Chains A and B, each alone.
Chain A
Amino acid sequence: MTGTSLPADLTRATAAGLAQALAAGEVSAVEVAQAHLDRIAAVDGTRDADGVATGKAVHAFLHVCAESALADARAVDDARAAGQPLPALAGVPIAVKDVMATRGLPTTCGSRILQGWVPPYDATVVANIRAARMVVLGKTNMDEFAMGSSTEHSAYGPTRNPWDLDRIPGGSGGGSAASLAAFETPLATGTDTGGSIRQPASVTGTVGVKPTYGAVSRYGLVALASSLDQAGPCARTVLDTALLHQVMAGHDPMDSTSLTGEYPDVIAAARAGATGSLDGVTVGVVRELSGDGYQAGVLRRFEESLAVLTEAGAKVVEVSCPSFTVALAAYYLILPSEASSNLAKFDAMRYGLRVEPGGVAVPTAEQVMGATRAAGFGDEVKRRIILGTYALSSGYYDAYYGSAQKVRTLIQRDFAAAFGQADVLVSPTSPTTAFPLGDKLENPLAMYLQDVATIPANLAGVPGMSLPSGLAEEDGLPVGLQILAPAGADDRLYRVGGALEAILTARWGGSVLDRVPDLSAALATAANGATR
């Protein structure tokens, strides 16, 4: 039973719409949860006993917790029936990236080495989501330990892009982005170390925000690169993204790098943006983040977005950030260095996989560690651990890690100068649209280039958003626009993003995602049977 404010198919509703209908009693949380679980069953596909994806389907989820989701939903309905006050998003479904520790739910980070691990605690973000009485549907697929831009590095098989099942959904948070584009959930969480929220949003036609470093607690996020990681919201609209952002963000005494003090009201900013006016806003176009290496259709949509921003009243200026050209290089030294240390804890002693080496009667701890890490980590993880070990080793530290940290200073200075000239900066989020599965697997450097425009924000800690700017003419696939703001000014992303979204959807007569091909029919055969 749905009220007049909701579409007949509940999975097509926005989180804002669902929240309103739930609060008004037009629909129950159980109905909403069931609709999304049904959708997941219909399009997500199946997995074998080892958790590996079977057949061609979206495979956005590594783990679906239908039972607890329905129980949580029922509890929300009961509370509402009893007249208890509930948070705004109570009963709204959400998918959680598998990098976040969830008490009682498996958390694998897409890695074999954590297969079967059930954390005894919740990440702060997850605790915030539970406190908001949102309904967790399950855990989403990702590149192993968030290393990758395609989810092909997941040990449990790739997630496929709902726009074209033979293409990647971006990464590392391809599972979360695909689950949104496939209408399996209205909201999802992500983490962004070099673009893992924004690039998947870009190639799936969804919205994703990497908040200011420290705005969202990192406690309970399995660390990739501690000084770069930042969790953030993923959704299908700017407003929905803001709603989740508000739930996730906030000071956490369990995270030393968590920011204190006033945090801007991103929801109000999103609503203000939706009026479509950007009078008095200066938008800077970063010269170094477009041009060579960017797909023609991506650049076309970017130019169009600039025109729209101007139309909305914004002043568009060009800015230069020369050190951005070495951002990728610095990133691929800092990230592996920190990752090599963060991933040392996976050693078969306290949790996770334990593999005994062959040919040894009573193996030593050292031998078991070596064998387990060889068997439990995939190629990309090994590659980055070895690279990081190298960059930190004595004799190379100053040249590599030390120099990369200096580049970080230069990038911060470039941002400071650019934000002296503009309120926000813009660029294409990703140089290309979604590429075919397998296309870049054998060429790590080509894969790394996917993050060329998103990485500077992580190095400097500033917030960034990706939102749809339309489809590329040559392949009909979504293109994302990236908006960057100064640290702490996350609201500006929503103001500008909200305006652009309002104008573009009005122009298109709907959302980009209205044009996602119909999945259910194509997958009907693949998806019969239980999903996990």
Chain B
Amino acid sequence: MTVTDTTEAVLAYDDVVAAYDPVLGLEVHVELNTATKMFCGCPTGFGAEPNTQVCPVCLGLPGALPVLNARGLESAIRIGLALNCEIASWCRFARKNYFYPDMPKNFQTSQYDEPIASNGFLDVELDDGSTFRVEIERAHMEEDTGKSTHVGGSTGRIHGADYSLVDYNRAGIPLIEIVTKPVEGAGERAPEIARAYVSALRDLLRALGVSDVRMEQGSLRCDANLSLRAKVPGAAPGSAQQRAVPLGTRSETKNVNSLRSVERAVRYEMTRHAARLAAGLTIVQETRHWHEDTGITTSGREKSDAEDYRYFPEPDLVPMSPDPAWVDELRGTLPEPPPQRRRRLQTEWGFADLEMRDLVNAGAVELVEATVAAGAAPAAARKWWSGELARRANADGVELAAMPVTPAQVAALQGLVDAGTLTDSLARQVLEGVLAGEGEPADVVESRGLKVVSDDGALGAAVDQAIADNPDVADKVRSGKVAAVGALVGAVMKQMRGQADAAKVKALLTERLAPADSTTDVSTS
């Protein structure tokens, strides 16, 4: 192997796309959110103590046997249908044989030449509003591996480690691998298309409700294959003339764990490949690792003839032959495609393009929808989720959907504001209580005593006190400098610890400090 871990030469992007036609291949692994693993009844929750969500089956103990999770199969079929795939009328699992310490049986139960779903497509919306169709080769079922921690050495990374520690909690979690056909015709937009595809797939999987699709937790993982071929002068990307040029040698970039990384990694690989080709070097067919921090890829394992997975039909699992009627029934459970749905909701809610895009990017569409469904006005719902809650989620480094508040609670909170029970400022304090686990908004209002004081007696007393404490200001107001009333409102609000309706306070002050010709004492205290 001649390629080393040092930074390689790259070519300027404009020069790359002027000379080469990129061809992408994207492999996405998605962990299903089933309650149990693919082939055993162990739970799948994230973050459990190591080796506590294991049994003889997923530990690969001698004698143990797999039994397919019905929901795993159902999710695979729904994913296939949502990707416009054909669903196999008969297919099997196969064993993929290779040795690796985090794989308990030293074979992965997967599918080989008989995937559950094949030949589909996903229409991907790009930033400029245009659509690009990505053809899907297949979607198949398999199982995840355990997780290794490398101990010793200087970096804690795999190289130079003294030994490794393995936790098999993740082993056997259901995975669906979704593989595209070669994506041709992307041209200079290849990096953007790669990102948009993964993003669209993520939205689709989320809408299907089959996965948490958390790239940062590894429940959605992307490997990006890239090759370059010489550009035919004058030929459009994707034209027959361009497609006739044989594909170049590809690299497979692993560990691409955010949407932004997908785009950056593809872009980087394009510039790296181009630099090598331009220098007359060959591309090594290999696995490459993406480094988020430095923005480059480094060489991993070279794909060689030594790799021979010796696939054969898994004898411990029987063939699957999904009843067509059931498949049709599942087709009926498919959600509205996310792009279509977004357009519909945007129209219904009357949001501007930018407002809608912010919601989409924040992963807040479903949350707003649920909040609206629970009774809040769309604008108010949007304000909470892309304002206060987005800010707090960001500060805490968690996904918006993971915030400990439900859309129903947000709607209830907004309801209290709409009813005049809370001011915006009070509402934020109530939200804080809800997030702290103090109960429903109404409970927090009660326990924290945060209700707006609308009792005229209490307010009147506070108003009188403020006037007495600030005779100069009061005189100014009396003398017609109405703007000065603001200082007195502030004083009253301070005294009421914010729990007063500012408009009402202002009205009371204005009454009390009316010009001398109006002498009627309105105070009833």
The answer to whether A and B touch in the complex, with CB atoms under 8 Å apart, is yes
Whether A220 contacts B99 by the Cβ 8 Å rule is no
Whether B61 contacts A256 by the Cβ 8 Å rule is no
Interface segment, B313-321, B463-471, B483-491? B313-321
Contact partners of A221 in chain B: CB under 8 A: 63
Q: Determine the distance from Cα of A202 to Cα of B421 in the docked complex, in whole angstroms.
A: 90
Q: Does B14 contact A (CB under 8 A)?
A: no
Whether A219 contacts B312 by the Cβ 8 Å rule is no
Contact partners of B95 in chain A: CB under 8 A: 341
Identity of the chain A residue whose Cβ is nearest the Cβ of B100 in the assembled complex: A365
Whether B67 contacts A341 by the Cβ 8 Å rule is no
Q: Determine the distance from Cα of A338 to Cα of B104 in the docked complex, in whole angstroms.
A: 17
Identity of the chain B residue whose Cβ is nearest the Cβ of A225 in the assembled complex: B315
Kindly identify, within residues 299 to 357 of chain B, every residue whose CB is under 8 Å from any CB belonging to chain A. 308, 310-312, 315-318
- The size of the chain A interface, using a CB distance under 8 A, is 45
Q: A337-B312, A344-B107 are in contact. Are A256 and B101 (CB under 8 A)?
A: no
Contact of B63 among A222, A256, A350 (CB under 8 A): A222
Whether A119 contacts B62 by the Cβ 8 Å rule is yes
Q: A256-B68, A257-B318, A394-B308 are in contact. Are A114 and B62 (CB under 8 A)?
A: yes
Q: A257-B318, A338-B315, A393-B310 are in contact. Are A218 and B65 (CB under 8 A)?
A: yes
Q: Interface centre among A107, A219, A393, by most B CB within 10 Å?
A: A219
Interface of B is mostly: loop
Q: Mark A134-146, 1 if CB is under 8 A from B, else 0.
A: 0000000000000
**Nearest CB on B from A56, distance (A):** 31
Q: Determine the distance from Cα of A123 to Cα of B316 in the docked complex, in whole angstroms.
A: 15
Identity of the chain B residue whose Cβ is nearest the Cβ of A389 in the assembled complex: B310
Whether A350 contacts B104 by the Cβ 8 Å rule is yes
Q: A362-B162, A369-B99 are in contact. Are A351 and B61 (CB under 8 A)?
A: yes
Q: Does B515 contact A (CB under 8 A)?
A: no
Q: Mark B182-200, 1 if CB is under 8 A from A, else 0.
A: 0000000000000000000
Kindly identify, within residues 338 to 386 of chain A, every residue whose CB is under 8 Å from any CB belonging to chain B. 338, 340-341, 344-347, 349-351, 362, 365-366, 369
Q: Interface centre among B105, B166, B310, B316, by most A CB within 10 Å?
A: B310
Identity of the chain B residue whose Cβ is nearest the Cβ of A390 in the assembled complex: B310
**Nearest CB on B from A118, distance (A):** 11
**Nearest CB on A from B114, distance (A):** 14
Q: Does B298 contact A (CB under 8 A)?
A: no
Identity of the chain A residue whose Cβ is nearest the Cβ of B161 in the assembled complex: A362
Q: Determine the distance from Cα of A225 to Cα of B316 in the docked complex, in whole angstroms.
A: 10
Contact partners of B64 in chain A: CB under 8 A: 121, 219-220
Whether B312 contacts A119 by the Cβ 8 Å rule is no
Q: A344-B106, A344-B107 are in contact. Are A350 and B60 (CB under 8 A)?
A: yes
Contact of A119 among B60, B61, B107 (CB under 8 A): B61
Q: Does B404 contact A (CB under 8 A)?
A: no
Q: Does A29 contact B (CB under 8 A)?
A: no
**Nearest CB on B from A189, distance (A):** 13
Q: Mark A221-235, 1 if CB is under 8 A from B, else 0.
A: 111011100000000
Whether A256 contacts B67 by the Cβ 8 Å rule is yes
Whether A345 contacts B106 by the Cβ 8 Å rule is yes
Contact partners of B318 in chain A: CB under 8 A: 256-257
Q: Determine the distance from Cα of A114 to Cα of B62 in the docked complex, in whole angstroms.
A: 10
Whether A109 contacts B62 by the Cβ 8 Å rule is yes
Contact partners of A222 in chain B: CB under 8 A: 62-63
- The size of the chain B interface, using a CB distance under 8 A, is 30
Q: Determine the distance from Cα of A337 to Cα of B101 in the docked complex, in whole angstroms.
A: 22
Whether A219 contacts B99 by the Cβ 8 Å rule is no
Whether A254 contacts B67 by the Cβ 8 Å rule is yes
Q: Does B164 contact A (CB under 8 A)?
A: yes
Contact partners of B164 in chain A: CB under 8 A: 365
Whether B312 contacts A226 by the Cβ 8 Å rule is no
Whether A256 contacts B316 by the Cβ 8 Å rule is yes
Contact partners of B65 in chain A: CB under 8 A: 218-219, 254-256
Contact partners of A346 in chain B: CB under 8 A: 62
Q: Determine the distance from Cα of A394 to Cα of B113 in the docked complex, in whole angstroms.
A: 14
Whether B62 contacts A349 by the Cβ 8 Å rule is no
Q: Determine the distance from Cα of A365 to Cα of B312 in the docked complex, in whole angstroms.
A: 26
Q: Does B457 contact A (CB under 8 A)?
A: no
Whether B62 contacts A392 by the Cβ 8 Å rule is no
Q: Determine the distance from Cα of A218 to Cα of B62 in the docked complex, in whole angstroms.
A: 11
Contact partners of B59 in chain A: CB under 8 A: 350
Whether B101 contacts A120 by the Cβ 8 Å rule is no
Q: Does A253 contact B (CB under 8 A)?
A: yes
Q: Does A247 contact B (CB under 8 A)?
A: no
Q: Does B249 contact A (CB under 8 A)?
A: no
Q: Interface centre among A100, A107, A114, A223, by most B CB within 10 Å?
A: A223
**Nearest CB on A from B254, distance (A):** 20
Q: Does A397 contact B (CB under 8 A)?
A: yes
Whether A123 contacts B315 by the Cβ 8 Å rule is no
Q: A101-B61, A256-B66 are in contact. Are A347 and B308 (CB under 8 A)?
A: no
Q: Does B429 contact A (CB under 8 A)?
A: no
Contact partners of B105 in chain A: CB under 8 A: 344-345
Q: Mark B49-87, 1 if CB is under 8 A from A, else 0.
A: 000000010011111111110000000000000000000
Contact partners of A101 in chain B: CB under 8 A: 56, 61-63
Whether A345 contacts B67 by the Cβ 8 Å rule is no
Identity of the chain B residue whose Cβ is nearest the Cβ of A252 in the assembled complex: B65
Identity of the chain B residue whose Cβ is nearest the Cβ of A388 in the assembled complex: B310
Whether A341 contacts B62 by the Cβ 8 Å rule is no
Q: Determine the distance from Cα of A369 to Cα of B318 in the docked complex, in whole angstroms.
A: 31
Identity of the chain A residue whose Cβ is nearest the Cβ of B98 in the assembled complex: A344
Contact partners of A394 in chain B: CB under 8 A: 308, 310
Kindly identify, within residues 397 to 411 of chain B, every residue whose CB is under 8 Å from any CB belonging to chain A. none
Whether A123 contacts B317 by the Cβ 8 Å rule is no
Whether A119 contacts B316 by the Cβ 8 Å rule is no
Q: Does B119 contact A (CB under 8 A)?
A: no
Whether A341 contacts B310 by the Cβ 8 Å rule is yes
Whether A341 contacts B308 by the Cβ 8 Å rule is no
Q: Determine the distance from Cα of A365 to Cα of B163 in the docked complex, in whole angstroms.
A: 9
Q: Does A401 contact B (CB under 8 A)?
A: yes
Q: A344-B106, A345-B106, A350-B104 are in contact. Are A392 and B63 (CB under 8 A)?
A: no
Q: Does B97 contact A (CB under 8 A)?
A: yes
Q: A109-B62, A220-B64 are in contact. Are A365 and B101 (CB under 8 A)?
A: yes
Contact partners of A225 in chain B: CB under 8 A: 315
Whether B67 contacts A347 by the Cβ 8 Å rule is no
Whether A123 contacts B63 by the Cβ 8 Å rule is yes
Q: Mark A251-278, 1 if CB is under 8 A from B, else 0.
A: 0011111000000000000000000000
Q: Determine the distance from Cα of A222 to Cα of B318 in the docked complex, in whole angstroms.
A: 19
Q: Mark A99-138, 1 if CB is under 8 A from B, else 0.
A: 0110000010100001001011101000000000000000
Identity of the chain A residue whose Cβ is nearest the Cβ of B59 in the assembled complex: A350
**Nearest CB on B from A341, distance (A):** 5
Whether A219 contacts B63 by the Cβ 8 Å rule is yes
Q: Mark B137-181, 1 if CB is under 8 A from A, else 0.
A: 000000000000000000000000010101000000000000000
Contact partners of B315 in chain A: CB under 8 A: 225-227, 257, 338
**Nearest CB on A from B481, distance (A):** 83
Contact of A345 among B62, B68, B162, B316 (CB under 8 A): B62
Contact partners of A227 in chain B: CB under 8 A: 315
Contact of B166 among A256, A349, A393 (CB under 8 A): A349
Whether A341 contacts B166 by the Cβ 8 Å rule is no
Contact of A220 among B63, B166, B310, B311 (CB under 8 A): B63
**Nearest CB on A from B112, distance (A):** 11
Contact of B99 among A109, A347, A397 (CB under 8 A): A347
**Nearest CB on A from B485, distance (A):** 77
Chain A residues proximal to chain B, CB less than 8 Å: 100-101, 107, 109, 114, 117, 119-121, 123, 218-223, 225-227, 253-257, 337-338, 340-341, 344-347, 349-351, 362, 365-366, 369, 389, 392-394, 397, 401
Shortest Cβ-Cβ A-B pairs, 3 listed:
A344-B106, A392-B310, A226-B315
Known: A222-B63, A226-B316. 9 other contacts (CB 8 A): A107-B62, A121-B61, A121-B64, A254-B67, A255-B65, A341-B312, A345-B104, A347-B99, A397-B310
Interchain Cβ contacts under 8 Å between A and B, 9 examples: A100-B63, A101-B56, A218-B65, A221-B63, A341-B97, A347-B101, A366-B99, A369-B99, A392-B97
